[in-house]
């Protein structure tokens, strides 16, 4: 797998900005990695869901398990693996070719993944950056379950990630804190409390 190490955590400046505006202490992360360190250092609790579609996802799970073993043993980090069905793997492979499949084929499984993750909540923020490509669908499912939702790579590969399928409910606002090439987008519930009024009168 060609993994883009340089750009992988390009979202961090956006999160630094988000942390100055909102109280973010409990995080739900879809896709773990080096960036998990940032959340662990800046939050009270992180739940990382690793959806395992390919063998390298399992290897990555084990690597992260040893990277964050201290946080795991002291309860600050919850690692939640989810082995996905062959059907979901097929859907993901179609995504990689830029072909979106019918949502009914995989919506139940995504809901199961989300339900499992939410059982360790509630969360202040959910971040969708996992190794499978059904990111927009997970963003849609998170509306009205978590107040602040973020996703990475929103400037690129719309056919792969399905970004055009995101339907923002009227009680959320879409926000881009920082411009960056790959793109990090936040959707924030309108009644989310700001820390001392936020920056720049936001
Ligand atoms: C885009 S990465 C981002 C994960 C996390 N948000 C971060 O920034 O560290 C998403 C997925 O790619 C895989 N992955 C991450 N780093 C990897 C690496 N160095 N080599 C192979 N796979 C990796 C893992 O399955 C991970 O969940």
Nearest ligand 1 atom to alpha carbon 1: 21
Is residue 1 within 6 Å of ligand 1 at its C-beta? Answer: yes
Q: How far is the CA of 4 from the centre of ligand 1 (A)?
A: 9
Instruction: Note the pLDDT of residue 200.
Output: 45
Per-residue pLDDT of the chain (202 residues; tens, 9 = 90+): 556 656 889 999 999 999 999 999 999 999 999 999 999 999 999 999 999 999 999 999 999 999 999 999 999 999 999 999 999 999 999 999 999 898 888 999 999 999 999 999 999 999 999 999 999 999 999 999 999 999 999 999 999 999 999 999 999 999 999 999 999 999 999 999 998 655 444 4
Q: Is residue 149 part of a domain?
A: yes
Nearest ligand 1 atom to alpha carbon 9: 8
Q: How far is the CA of 31 from the centre of ligand 1 (A)?
A: 6
Q: How far is the CA of 53 from the centre of ligand 1 (A)?
A: 13
Is residue 39 within 6 Å of ligand 1 at its C-beta? Answer: no
Is residue 64 within 6 Å of ligand 1 at its C-beta? Answer: no
Please say whether the beta carbons of 148 and 125 come within 8 A: yes
Give the C-alpha distances (Å, rounded to integers) separating 1 from 24, 82, 108, 113, 131.
33, 20, 28, 24, 11
| Domain count along the chain | 1
Instruction: Note the pLDDT of residue 201.
Output: 41
Is residue 62 within 6 Å of ligand 1 at its C-beta? Answer: no
Q: Is residue 14 part of a domain?
A: no
Domain that residue 71 falls in: 24-189
Is residue 60 within 6 Å of ligand 1 at its C-beta? Answer: yes
Instruction: Note the pLDDT of residue 104.
Output: 87
Q: How far is the CA of 131 from the centre of ligand 1 (A)?
A: 6
Q: How far is the CA of 27 from the centre of ligand 1 (A)?
A: 17
Which CATH number do you get for residue 87? 3.40.50.150
Q: Is residue 104 part of a domain?
A: yes
Please say whether the beta carbons of 137 and 161 come within 8 A: no
Q: Is residue 199 part of a domain?
A: no
Helix (H, G, I), strand (E, B) or coil at 6: coil
- The tally of CA atoms less than 13 A away on the side-chain side of residue 116 is 18
How far apart are alpha carbons 18 and 22 in whole angstroms?
A: 6
Instruction: Note the pLDDT of residue 2.
Output: 58
Is residue 11 within 6 Å of ligand 1 at its C-beta? Answer: no
Q: Is residue 7 part of a domain?
A: no
Q: Is residue 109 part of a domain?
A: yes
Q: Is residue 122 part of a domain?
A: yes
pTM greater than the 0.85 cutoff: yes
Q: Is residue 16 part of a domain?
A: no
Instruction: Note the pLDDT of residue 167.
Output: 98
Is residue 130 within 6 Å of ligand 1 at its C-beta? Answer: yes
Instruction: Note the pLDDT of residue 197.
Output: 53
Is residue 34 within 6 Å of ligand 1 at its C-beta? Answer: yes
Is residue 182 within 6 Å of ligand 1 at its C-beta? Answer: no
């Amino acid at each position: 797998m060609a993994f883009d190490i340089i750009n992988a955590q390009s979202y961090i400046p956006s999160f630094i900005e988000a942390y100055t505006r909102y109280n973010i202490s409990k995080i739900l992360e879809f896709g773990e990695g080096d960036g998990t360190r940032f959340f662990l250092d800046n939050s009270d609790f992180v739940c990382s869901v690793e959806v395992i579609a390919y063998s390298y996802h399992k290897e990555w799970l084990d690597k992260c398990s040893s990277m964050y073993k201290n946080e795991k043993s002291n309860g600050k980090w919850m690692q939640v693996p989810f082995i996905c069905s062959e059907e979901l793997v097929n859907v993901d492979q179609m995504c990689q070719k830029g072909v979106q499949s019918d949502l009914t084929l995989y919506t139940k499984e995504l809901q199961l993944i989300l339900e499992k993750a939410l059982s360790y909540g509630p969360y202040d923020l959910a971040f969708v950056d996992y190794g499978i490509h059904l990111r927009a669908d997970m963003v849609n499912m998170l509306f009205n379950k978590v107040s602040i939702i973020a996703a990475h790579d929103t400037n690129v590969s719309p056919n792969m990630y399905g970004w055009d399928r995101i339907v923002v409910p009227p009680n959320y606002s879409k926000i881009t804190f920082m411009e960056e090439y790959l793109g990090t987008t936040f959707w924030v519930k309108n009644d989310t409390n700001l820390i001392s009024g936020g920056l720049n009168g936001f």
